[in-house]
Amino acid sequence: MRIFNFFRPAQPPKVESSAHHAKERLQIVMAHERASRDGPDFLPLLQQELLAVIAKYVDVDQNKVEVKLDRSNEISTLEVNIELPSRRPEPRRQRAALQGAASTP
Amino acid sequence: MGQIIVMTSGKGGVGKTTSSAAFATGFALRGHKTVVIDFDVGLRNLDLVMGCERRVVFDFINVINGEAKLYQALIKDKRVENLYILPTSQTRDKDALTKEGVEAVMDELRKEFEFIICDSPAGIEKGALMALYFADQAVVVTNPEVSSVRDSDRILGMLAARSRRAELGQPPVIEHLLLTRYDPIRVERGEMLNVNDVLEILAIPLLGVIPESQAVLRASNVGVPVILDDTSNAGMAYADAVARFLGEQLEHRFVKPEKRGLFSRLLGRTA
Amino acid sequence: MMVLKILDPASETLFSRLSEKVRLAPNFFRNSAVVLDLECLPETQVCDFGDIKARLRDCNLIAVGVQGGHRLQHEAALRAGLPLVPSGRPTRTDNRPAQAAGQTVPPPSRPTLVVSEVVRSGRQIYAPGGDLVVTAMVSAGAELLADGHIHVYGTLRGRALAGLSGDTTARIFCLSLEAEMVSIAGLYRVNEDFTPEIVRKPVQICLKEGYLCLEPFFPVGR
């Protein structure tokens, strides 16, 4: 009831308030952007080189490569999923997952 | 073939990105496979409003430049089935948007998605023109305020003259008006243009009126499209607007001040 | 595009009178493109187009082509760098003697430009040599220009300039006057000077005895 709220003393903003949430999100995403602002956009290149190495050993379908990124406070993960072709006549899929983890600066 | 919808306004800060996020989520909630694209190259914000900023690997510009495949750049929403986000580049500028490049992406998306929502940057320069060029329908986001109304008129002129439909002499882009940040109390006091004033000047059909609401800021703070906050007036108004877009006949809510009880009036507090 | 009708290329007064005309409105004419109309020349007369071109240049006009006339004249013009341009209006027949006795010649028709969509802010529409009819509203910040009359079957919020090349009989009509500015043959009035009995009313605007006259279509209290 609003009328009771009115008599309650003013409270400091709660830690889980939406503004707090906003600040936290901005800090994470902007730290990453600042770090990479002047550097080259390395992800496309990384993907190409990675594929080139793997292609030396197995036949890779360029259209079956998935790259996922998740950034958080402590740790960022980059996940590259490359689907490898089956050597058997019947089409059964194998998946190789390459996972790399790196601490954020 | 999917429908391409541009969210546009001319003026900045009127709620294009909020509306793009809300409409895309609204379509997906109703089972339509939808993608929302950020055209504001260099000033990426849709990812923040959609809450997927930590998951951006590749972007629209990477796809245009052939540095990544389209499906690699599409981010699947974690909350709503059928919803995808195509973020833009934060480091490049609007020149990265070539007509051929955008067209190739649009053609590919049309095959996969029912609705393709283009979140336009402000202004009438390249980014905004590219966002509206391929549109089948346009949602013109307007605030009840003189500069916003005039800028909307200007962008409607652009839609009529500079869209692909106009250039090819096809049927014109279907136009819808979405009036945002509407404050019925200030309208009643005569401090703000009312719905009919704006409709009279712009002369296009009204899709919805989104009331000024604290829920909008709260939603963008936490990265959840406001339409998912179904307790808020703004969320409900967006849900209504999406339903109208899909052909439902609904009365416009939130255009009159809510009746308030004696206590809340005495105390002068609002929720 | 401006058209210069040549009646007699040998006339001594042609260019002096032309430069007088240009001096009256130097900004309007400065470096304007001009098409030479050869319709009134006899078929056999071939003139020195190079000379005409140079003398027009002295008047700050640029000859860009010819219209009307005959094959020999076209060839001479082409040698002087003036191509044949298609005539922008129906061939005028009123100046010539009637082709056949008893046959009535219809009066020249002025091309009318009809626009049926809303004219939005930032757009400019010009009806050269004729009337402009808009069957929708005209937004603030839009501009209508016509050498003849302007009709707006909707609210006029932008600017309307009729009689652009000096026709003082041109008029402006609109269903609701909320214009920023109206002008006929160069005489203009801005909205600050509009009186309450014409604002948001059906209005016609014309020149009367040299004054711009804005009057409601229907007497007040009809």
Q: Which residue range forms the structural domain that includes residue C55?
A: 2-79
Are residues C128 and C58 both part of a single domain? no
Whether C197 is in a domain gets the answer yes
Partners of B229 on chain A (C-beta within 8 Å) are none
Q: What is the pLDDT of residues B85-138, one digit of tens each?
A: 999 998 888 899 999 999 999 999 999 999 999 999 999 999 999 999 999 999
CB C175 within 8 A of CB C201: no
Identify the bridge partners of residue C84 per DSSP, sorted by sequence position.
Answer: C66
Are residues C73 and C139 both part of a single domain? no
Whether C95 is in a domain gets the answer no
pTM of the model: 0.71
Which pLDDT score is estimated for A92? 45
Partners of B222 on chain A (C-beta within 8 Å) are 18, 21-22
* All partners of chain B with 3 or more CB pairs under 8 angstroms: A, C
Are residues C122 and C182 both part of a single domain? yes
Q: Which domain CATH number covers C36?
A: 3.30.70.260
Contact B150 C157 (CB under 8 A): no
Between A61 and B40, where is the model more confident?
Answer: B40
CB C162 within 8 A of CB C170: yes
Cα–Cα distance measured from residue B227 to residue B6, given in angstroms and rounded to the nearest whole number: 18
- Residue ending a domain, choose from C27, C58, C79: C79
Which pLDDT score is estimated for A9? 52
Are residues C62 and C119 both part of a single domain? no
Predicted ipTM beyond 0.85: no
Number of domains, chain C: 2
Average pLDDT over every residue of C141-170: 95
Cα–Cα distance measured from residue B117 to residue B4, given in angstroms and rounded to the nearest whole number: 6
Contact B153 C123 (CB under 8 A): no
| In the predicted structure, residue A105 carries a pLDDT above the cut 50 | no
Least confident range from A18-32, A56-70, B153-167: namely A56-70
Are residues C71 and C128 both part of a single domain? no
Contact of B140 with chain C, judged by CB distance below 8 Å, is answered with: no
With vertex at residue B128, the alpha carbon angle to CA B245 and CA B100, rounded to the nearest 5 degrees, is: 100
Cα–Cα distance measured from residue C107 to residue C129, given in angstroms and rounded to the nearest whole number: 15
Are residues C59 and C120 both part of a single domain? no
Confidence class of residue B267 from pLDDT cuts 50, 70 and 90?
low
Contact B203 C137 (CB under 8 A): yes
Please tell me which residue of chain B has the smallest CA distance to A65: B72
- Residue ending a domain, choose from C56, C79, C102: C79
| In the predicted structure, residue C9 carries a pLDDT above the cut 70 | yes
Please tell me which residue of chain B has the smallest CA distance to C121: B154
Please tell me which residue of chain A has the smallest CA distance to B214: A18
Contact C120 B156 (CB under 8 A): yes
Are residues C118 and C67 both part of a single domain? no
> Could you tell me which residues come within 8 angstroms of residue C206 by beta carbon, excluding any fewer than 6 positions away?
C169, C170, C171, C172, C184, C213
Q: Which domain CATH number covers C186?
A: 2.160.20.70
Which residue numbers of A have CB closer than 8 Å to B's CBs?
2-3, 5-6, 18-19, 21-22, 25-26, 28-29, 33, 36-37, 41, 43-44, 47, 62-63, 65-72, 78
Are residues C125 and C212 both part of a single domain? yes
With vertex at residue B61, the alpha carbon angle to CA B60 and CA B66, rounded to the nearest 5 degrees, is: 100
Confidence class of residue A7 from pLDDT cuts 50, 70 and 90?
low
Contact of B194 with chain A, judged by CB distance below 8 Å, is answered with: no
Which pLDDT score is estimated for C18? 79
Average pLDDT, chain C: 82
Are residues C62 and C136 both part of a single domain? no
Average pLDDT, chain B: 93
Are residues C188 and C123 both part of a single domain? yes
| In the predicted structure, residue B73 carries a pLDDT above the cut 90 | yes
Which pLDDT score is estimated for A2? 53
Q: What is the pLDDT of residues C20-44, one digit of tens each?
A: 777 777 666 777 778 888 887 777 7
φ, ψ for residue B15, nearest 5 deg: 115, 25
Are residues C66 and C157 both part of a single domain? no
Which pLDDT score is estimated for C154? 95
Are residues C185 and C121 both part of a single domain? yes
For an interface test with C, the pick among B129, B153, B177 (most C C-beta atoms closer than 10 Å) comes out as: B153
